[in-house]
Amino acid sequence: MERRDYEFVLGLVSSFFGQKHIQKRFQVIENKPITGWEIWFQVEFSVFLEDQLEDSLAWWDREFQYSIDRRKARHREHMAIDFVFRKKRAALDQYIALEIKQNTSVKSCIRGMMEDTCKISLVKASHDDLRSMWTLGVHPVVEETELNEIINEYADHFNVRLNNNCIESHPIKGTGFSYTLF
């Protein structure tokens, strides 16, 4: 199930980044240089997910609130997950979570992705409706070996176990950005 969910999410994000108008906007962000565009990105991705309701998605929500285990995080009771969605023909109570990060520093982006991965582990065990969780990062293009070293460094630092078959990074066409999913 994990690999199927990963391929499903990878398909969604690949289709999203394959859109010409999204590529053009990333060119503008890169050339101007515009900062603080994570909210814009989430709005664009929301519109994209809404369009997927006809084909592959049954439901989606943004900033979905979950209760967290107070034994693990005493400072708060709830947290918001960037996106939660359900595939068509999936069980009604089985959702996929997606956290999104963007940064002009590859290291900062990957670190933020690992922090989000840890954050999701705080969801109360009673919320067993999350069947899988993924993190998407948008950052400058770097060599694959350098990216893998950064991912492994932060996975070790945060004690996060990643499935090597579920880590990919691809350039966003016509830009110096790439996206990484794990």
Signed CA dihedral, 14, 16, 20, 22: sign only: negative
Packing angle between helix 2-17 and helix 20-31, nearest 10 degrees? Answer: 70
Q: Are 134 and 6 in contact, with CB atoms under 8 Å apart?
A: yes
**Whole-prediction pTM value?**
0.91
- Type of residue numbered 164: N
pLDDT of residue 127: 59
Distance CA 100, CA 62 (A): 11
DSSP string across 42-71: HHHHHHHHHHHTTTTEEEEEEEEEEEB-TT
What is the token pair recorded at 82? 């960037």
Residuewise pLDDT in 10s, the chain (182 residues): 899 999 999 999 999 999 999 999 999 999 998 999 999 999 999 999 999 998 999 999 999 887 776 665 566 677 889 999 999 998 888 999 999 999 999 999 999 999 999 888 777 555 568 889 999 999 999 999 999 999 999 999 999 999 999 999 999 999 999 999 99
> What 3-state DSSP class applies to 111?
helix
Q: What's residue 10's pLDDT?
A: 99
Which pLDDT does position 113 carry in this prediction? Answer: 98
List the domain boundaries for the chain: 2-181
Helix (H, G, I), strand (E, B) or coil at 173: coil
Single-letter amino acid code for the residue at 53: L
Instruction: Work out the number of other CB atoms within 10 angstroms of the CB of residue 76.
Output: 10
Token duo for residue 163 = 């499935």
Q: In the 8-state DSSP scheme, what is residue 39? A: H
